[in-house]
Amino acid sequence: MARKAAGTPATVALTRAGVAFSTHEYVHDPRAGSYGQEAADLLGLPAAQVFKTLLADVDGALVVAVVPVTGTLDLKALAAAAGGKRAAMADPARAERITGYVIGGISPLGQKRALATFLDASAQAYDTVYVSGGRRGLDLGLAPEDLRRLTGASYAAIGARS
């Protein structure tokens, strides 16, 4: 039986903030190669509007990067945006521990610890972007400016087309 979306820290954070959002559930296939692309495909959403949440280590500090599923994270651009010299993807177990979410379900919203967050500048082109709702099989649609405001994110050109 599927869990209710209202039970995730991400949806609780949005509700408490009074932010309008939509929930989009799908049945996650554990064999899927890309969580974000799977969400776009199964939900029939434009992939450029579906964003994945990644954690990276920038000069020893964890940061959150939110980029379109249609591309990859530009680690050099992320390091520069964060005021650092070098960025590398965070260890998945550490990312899960710090955020309180599982890989494939990490939401930029409602994380256990507030981390510096960078939202790819391409989000500004849309009225609605979609991010993980805090578990595999759940995406949330919301205005990019609401996402930026609630996460304290900075817009930055950190996404690279693959």
User: Mean pLDDT for each 10-residue chunk of the chain (162 residues)?
Assistant: 62 95 90 84 93 96 96 96 96 94 94 95 97 94 97 95 68
Q: Nearest CA to 90 among 100, 76, 75, 80? A: 75
Measured between its terminal Cα atoms, the distance across the chain in Å is 36
Q: Domains of the chain by range and CATH?
A: 5-161 (3.90.960.10)
Q: In angstroms, rounded to a whole number, what is the distance separating the alpha carbons of residues 50 and 33? A: 16
Q: What is the pLDDT of residue 162?
A: 63
Q: What is the pLDDT of residue 4?
A: 43
- Retrieve residue 39's tokens: 């969400």
Q: How many residues does the chain have?
A: 162
Q: What is the pLDDT of residue 130?
A: 97
- Retrieve residue 113's tokens: 């610890």
Is residue 111 within 8 A of residue 100, CB to CB? The reply is yes
